Structure 1
Amino acid sequence: MATPTGDPVGDAAGEAVQTSIMAVRLALAIADAVRRQQQRKQDAEEELPPAEQAVNETAAEVKTLVPPDISAALMTGADWPQMAQQLAGLRRAGVDLGEFLPRVGEIAVTVRDAVAANTARVAEEGTREWERMLRETLPAGPVREAILSSPTWPDIAATMARLDERGADVRSILASAHDEGVGVDTAVARVLAADAAPATSRDAMLSYGPLTTGLDIPKDLDLGNRARALRQLAISPAENERYGRWIREAMPGREREADLLLSARQWPLVAARMAHMESNDVPVREHLNRLMQDTSWEQGPKPQLGSRLVQAANDALRRPLGDAAASRVTVNTAAARAQSATLDPTKHQAAKGTTPAEAGVTPHRQQAGPAPTRGKTR
């Protein structure tokens, strides 16, 4: 925070500039997190250069490419050497600072002007759930995953809180910083000879359908790594624990079955559905009560019980509370075989007379479930 001088106008301007420096710090922290994530995927993460060397490498460009009042405040701050290291690390990873710095400068100017024009402190709710804001503001992908998995995430969240307290539009800053993060991800990937965008993973392809309708699923979803899958879907450990507790409470006396559901490979997708509903003010726990109201999931081979529980939980969550229809879906096995990509072509004609319902519809994108309203679970 700027030291008061007794001049209200000057103090307000200084405070606005100092707040804009926070926005620069946030943008650099996000860009550095993305760089590290991209290099880590290729086992090529590089350490930052020494502070003194980094300052010498970047000072001239910062003075030239960033507005004078912001660059002056930036370079006299106690954390300037650290930010210079981040800038030097980005350049060595393939980021063009001649393009990057002016855009970061635009973010800083926007924040500076917004704070300077803010005549009254915006009323705040108190404690913000910054991770939820991040999920609601940024699309799933490498930038959001890099932020949430970065060891500097607590510092990033604290910076977001301070910006918000000073009247800055944090969502707008995040959106702008996200665009820069995408550029950093692409630049670093290009240097590492990696694809600019991740290929669609097998888990993502197999998950398309009722389990993911209406959800924001990353193309490189990895359900084989539970911790990473939860991060990709922006489910915090605390949220995952809470959703697991709700499952157990909805299935009293059925601890074994609840554990099978929670240990299922596709559990992160069920948790993502619950998080989506919770953020849209849909009573998740009331929906989960259906798991014991209709236990048709008990019927079938025991080895597939976990999979049936995942389907039953997803069905219970997606159906409106007023819908009393049975949760079991009647499967037309002949039609399913007819559409199977692995079916022997000579056997196609045997099932030709049976047509599956809604043939030709892409489940993940076109069979949308009911749209819940946003908010908290009661």
Structure 2
Amino acid sequence: MGTPTPEGEPFAAAAGEAVQTSVMAWRLVMAVADAVRRQQQQRRQKGREEDLPPVDQAVREAATEVTRLVPSDISTALMAGADWPQMAQQLVALRRAGVDLGDFLPRVGGIAVTVRDAVAENAARVDREGTGEWERMLRETLPAGPVREAILSSPTWPDIAATMARLDERGVDVRQVLAAAHNEGVGVDQAVARVLAADAAPAASRDAVRSYGPLTTGLDLPKDLDLSDRARALRQLAISPAENERYGRWVMEAMPGREREATLMLSNRQWPLVAARMAQMETEGKPVREHLTRLMADTSWEKGPTPQLGSRLVEAANDALRRPLGEAAASRAKVNTTAARAQSATLDPTKRQAADKSAAPAEAGVAAHRQQNGPALKRGKIR
């Protein structure tokens, strides 16, 4: 579920969304440019590519150029991303291959600015036309990710919002329609990405796609996220072994007498996403340990099948970390899992049809994507 826009902060939220969308456009342009560079070098050198420059050197060189030639809000977001070291290597490789970064970077920055301003203008138009409530619903219902960014940056977004309003007036469950549309959008995004980026960046991994949702809202999720390899996942999320150990110790301290349960959370496949949330909060100066005390104040995670206890604790920890201090926990709505699986983008089409026939209507206001391991996104620091 996307984070609802806080009252009094709509413009800041819209600006942040606009910048993140512009960064996605930047990454697409860079992927295409790097693919072209690689192909040209292979042709010149009969199939052999030149080695990329060392990461430390590339980061220093590229940071100077990007800071000087790209608007500050976009350059800051770029250099805070988990993929910045790789992007820095690509930029330096382009320069060594003969590309004038003094000419290239402002042009790519111009593309990013156009996308950023389009998103901001759509937000302003929606606000002027009185359909801001539908943007809030969209953020609450759909996970942060390529589908939501595509909708908000589309010039047709105000028309989409107006359609949502008309459906609501006619008694249609708009949230359920959005959840189903999101799953179809994920399929379209992946299909188009395979065509556009066949020679560039790989398509998002299964772990990255399945992690879009509450667990990763606001985090910067690498496209090739691999949660099956704990050490690699922590490296991808820029969590050092010392940090991971510290966060695990904080969890143990927050759950005195419940060491067995805490261990189940720490050994859960999705623990690195919780650690990434804690690291981001540390960077922002938020009291992580105070948030973790909620795990013992609300032990609703105890209820349910024992084999899923670790997963429930991961969700409870994420909720405790995301909720502002002083805010009461929201009641957890029950979800029709059969209906959710029927709408899942990861379910085989033939199985989905069978599930459709047996699924009861989902409860109003519950998004199908909540059944998946909940997007990506922003760390806000460089390691």
Q: TM-score normalised by the shorter chain: which range applies?
A: 0.3 to 0.5
Answer 1 or 2: higher relative contact order, Cα 8 Å, separation at least 6.
2
Structure with the greater alpha carbon radius of gyration: 1
Give the alignment's TM-score, normalised by structure 1. Answer: 0.47
Give the alignment's TM-score, normalised by structure 2. Answer: 0.47
